[in-house]
Structure 1
Amino acid sequence: MNINTEINRLLNFAKQRGLISEDDYYYSANLLIDVLQVSEFVPEEIDETLETAAPILSRMLDYAVAEGLIEDTANERDLFDTRIMNCVMPRPSEVVRKFQSDYARAPKAATDNFYKMSIASNYIRKDRIDKNLVWKTPTEYGDLDVTINLSKPEKDPRDIAKAKLVKSSSYPQCLLCRENEGFAGHAGHPARQTHRLIPLRLASHRWFMQYSPYTYYNEHCIVLNRKHIPMKVNRKSFENLLDFVTIFPHYFLGSNADLPIVGGSILSHDHYQGGRYDFAMAKASVEKAYSVAGFPNVKVGRVKWPMSTIRLTGEDREELADLAEIILNKWRGYSDDSVGILAETDGEPHNTITPIARRRGSAYELDLVLRNNRRSEEHPLGIFHPHAEVHHIKKENIGLIEVMGLAVLPARLKKEMHLLGQELIKGTADISGIEEIACHADWYKMLREKYPAVTAEQVDGLLQAEIGEVFKTVLVHAGVYKRDAAGLAAFDKFMQAVSQAD
């Protein structure tokens, strides 16, 4: 391999993608020479256009392994290719200035260019994300999105062993902390030299916007609090969400709930998730309107959605935040034994809300999804959580992304669905004796009865549609008010209590 050519290829790519300018050429070349421990360098003319730097980085990593610079493990390669890309990255202050300059032209121009830079820098590993299996399943609630996440590499035993040897440190405190920007990483923490943040002011406080390195949908962004403080849904949350969609009217922004089971994966750091994508829930219609005394200018409605959702629409942000606060406070203390909703047991609170904000022209739209995290002997992981019969597909918490209608499913399902498909085609009666897919045995029996004869051409589409149906069931399980006569009547009863709130 000619490493000199690979360095020139990367420099050419970086110039094409606007990561560096001609003035940065030798500076960046010298950084690469140092990282790759090369003794000589000769500029070359490179005539190629690549979508990502991944093919170049792959060859550079092979060189690094051959030269003994790194061990050939997934984590070592990820740490090193991020270090390589840092040699052709603009500094954080340059990124911020460019973003602000673009924003002065148009908010969309700013986010477009920042997102493209995040892909070009390999911070968003597009080559891996493109391997994810993605499809839509039509349902009575709209087209649900389903993805089998293949973008995160499996842990190598050698990397796991090294992680155990890393000295414990509280810096950065978590993966969302502002201090991650530029952090080199180690066996127990991903490299973040190519990570860049955009400072924001939301409700007069300092926040930052970044893109998720594992984007699950278009322009999947994360908005994080400057301070490492726990997630909390309150009046300030509604103000923050509405401020954000004022700044970026082409994006939505939502918050995970702030209680275990119904919350997201990182409750220790206050943050939101947003992006430029219309989920099924955003497209769902309002099936019943309500009126709330004192808020004649706010439209209030129940959304036709498996998870119990109240939609507020209006042009006055303060009014929306005021009413959202009233609903949240009422819900936190609300119980209805007839449908299994208890506000607390033994002093442990159970009720909270998952809020999502978006713009509709000059109007603001705020969806409030009612959540409850009670557990029982029958449902030890959560009463309003995926029940045991769907755990073979989805067992994890139902966070903001799933709430809106996108199932993020584990990588194991790719192989398991392939094996299931083979058995369906063969007409196998029972798969409970096949260890790799035995967890799907009950579901498989249902599929065999529903589809007694399956061809190789049909099987993939059939399984995708049925996985989507399971996800719909997951959302039904997570809904606090079921969509039957008793559940909808109980929903109306709560809204009546809201209207009477002081």
Structure 2
Amino acid sequence: MNNCPGPTAPQKEITAYLNKIYEQGDLEPVMNELHLWSLDSEYINKDKLEKNSIREFYDLDYDLYFSYQINYARAGYQQKNKPALPEGAECLICRENASSPGKENLRIFDLKLKGVEEETDFFLQLTPFPLFPRHLVLINREHTPMNMGAESIAQSLSFIGMAPHYTLCSNSDLEWAGASILSHSHFQLLHKRRLPVMNASPLFEFDSEKGLKVEALRFPLPVIRLSSEKRTDLVREGSRIIDLWKKTAPGMRTVNMLIYREENNFICTLVLRDSQFRTPEDLQKYKSEGIGVVEAAGSWIFPPPSGYPEEELTQNSREIIKGFFKGIRVFDPLDIKGYDFLPYKRKENV
């Protein structure tokens, strides 16, 4: 659009500009403008983003391409002397961080999402260390904890209904089980990005009600994919599966989640996680932090090499990534007994 605010424009001016676009009824142009402004203002480091070279390898066992990158955009982010949190902020992603010292060029966009019963205030921002182009974060305006269940599914579907070209990825609500910032509810947003799990074929299908498809996937981790034209189907059955999985080992089990659209269907993909299953010790030199949703979905992110040559990772990426998958896998996805907690029977001859 014309008359885009300059790179030093204050939040008030950005808000007015983006609201004018949003009034035309489409959210994605708003997100595009916020992305372009963040590049203009150098909130996103273009050079570091371009250095994030994504490599792929094919795995015959799953008939899938998996990917990995060394994320230079994040290098230096965890600096020793970070500015203190601004007044009113309780964590690094609270709304009060916008335009604060150290984040002078951070701008946001406010919106509402429909939950199970009520609307909730959220806001959009770019991440300073993007994994991919147009990588945004959708954040609850209130400093409220992550919670995987009906409300988070409903809110995610509400967003995807407004931005169908995005994939929404959710880290979990349990430490060491695919979590990031546990204290503040948020989602990762990837533009036109198909993560490997989205291309996974079904191992088998479960009996479910008409219009709803429930499948276990051919993937290194146990994954359940639900698809339906009706959002209410996914909220009801997705939350049911999450609750049942959590009850099999209270305080240890939860899920990572992806929500996206394919033609007329909404898709809810649940990756089963357990905090007892972590990165093997011999692989921690490549990545010591927890394994989040993007990696559990098959697109691995490694920090710049420290203490080992980069060639060690690039030449052995297949074996290393398979080792990570094996370490965080709760059960063998090929074992039908692992899915006994589900309230469905396996379809025969499918």
SS in 2 for 1:320: helix
Shift of 1:228: 1.1
Alignment of 1:212-291 (within 5 A): 212-276=127-191, 277-291=193-207
What residue is the counterpart of 1:490 in the other structure?
A: 337
1: CA distance, partners of 2:126 / 2:286? 27
Residue 208 of structure 2 is aligned to residue 329 of structure 1: no
Amino acid in the other structure paired with 2:34:
F
What residue is the counterpart of 1:193 in the other structure?
A: 104
Amino acid in the other structure paired with 1:287:
L
Q: What do the CA deviations read for 1:195-226 (whole angstroms, capped 9, x no partner)? A: 11111211201001111111001311111111
2: CA distance, partners of 1:168 / 1:105? 35
1: CA distance, partners of 2:84 / 2:340? 55
What residue is the counterpart of 1:358 in the other structure?
A: 260
Structure 1 residues 417 and 270: alpha-carbon distance in aligned structure 2, compared to 1, 3 A threshold: same
2: CA distance, partners of 1:477 / 1:206? 37
Residue 50 of structure 2 is aligned to residue 135 of structure 1: no
Mark the runs of 5 or more structure 2 residues left unpaired by the alignment: none
SS in 1 for 2:103: coil
What residue is the counterpart of 1:89 in the other structure?
A: 8
SS in 2 for 1:494: coil
Match for residue 172 of structure 1 among 89, 92, 108: 89
Amino acid in the other structure paired with 1:99:
L
Match for residue 68 of structure 2 among 138, 141, 146: 146
Greater C-alpha Rg: 1
Tell me the TM-score normalized by structure 1: 0.62
CA RMSD of aligned residues (A): 2.6
2: CA distance, partners of 1:208 / 1:171? 16
What residue is the counterpart of 1:473 in the other structure?
A: 323
What residue is the counterpart of 1:70 in the other structure?
A: none
Q: What do the CA deviations read for 1:386-427 (whole angstroms, capped 9, x no partner)? A: 222322323321111111112111212596225x5xxxxxxx
What residue is the counterpart of 1:51 in the other structure?
A: none
Residue 181 of structure 2 is aligned to residue 181 of structure 1: no
Residue 299 of structure 2 is aligned to residue 406 of structure 1: yes
Alignment of 1:33-72 (within 5 A): none
SS in 1 for 2:178: coil
Shift of 1:167: 7.1
Q: What do the CA deviations read for 1:318-342 (whole angstroms, capped 9, x no partner)? A: 11100111111111112xxxxxxxx
Higher relative contact order (CA 8 A, sep 6+): 2
Structure 2 contact 74–303 (Cα < 8 Å) conserved? no
Residue 278 of structure 2 is aligned to residue 385 of structure 1: yes
Q: What do the CA deviations read for 1:140-197 (whole angstroms, capped 9, x no partner)? A: 34222211122245489xx84x66xx7787642211000011102xxxxxx1121111
What residue is the counterpart of 1:299 in the other structure?
A: 213
2: CA distance, partners of 1:401 / 1:127? 22
Amino acid in the other structure paired with 1:474:
F
Number of equivalenced pairs? 337
1: CA distance, partners of 2:269 / 2:10? 37
2: CA distance, partners of 1:167 / 1:273? 25
2: CA distance, partners of 1:118 / 1:261? 32
Identity of aligned residues (%): 25
Shift of 1:109: 2.8
Amino acid in the other structure paired with 1:253:
L
Tell me the TM-score normalized by structure 2: 0.87
Higher fraction of helix = 1
Alignment of 1:335-354 (within 5 A): 343-344=249-250, 349-354=251-256
Residue 233 of structure 2 is aligned to residue 319 of structure 1: yes
2: CA distance, partners of 1:168 / 1:272? 21
Shift of 1:274: 1.3
2: CA distance, partners of 1:333 / 1:107? 37
2: CA distance, partners of 1:99 / 1:143? 37
Structure 1 contact 287–301 (Cα < 8 Å) conserved? yes
Shift of 1:278: 1.0
Structure 1 residues 287 and 138: alpha-carbon distance in aligned structure 2, compared to 1, 3 A threshold: same
2: CA distance, partners of 1:108 / 1:229? 26
Amino acid in the other structure paired with 1:114:
L
2: CA distance, partners of 1:236 / 1:492? 24
Mark the runs of 5 or more structure 1 residues left unpaired by the alignment: 1-15, 21-87, 185-190, 335-342, 375-383, 421-462
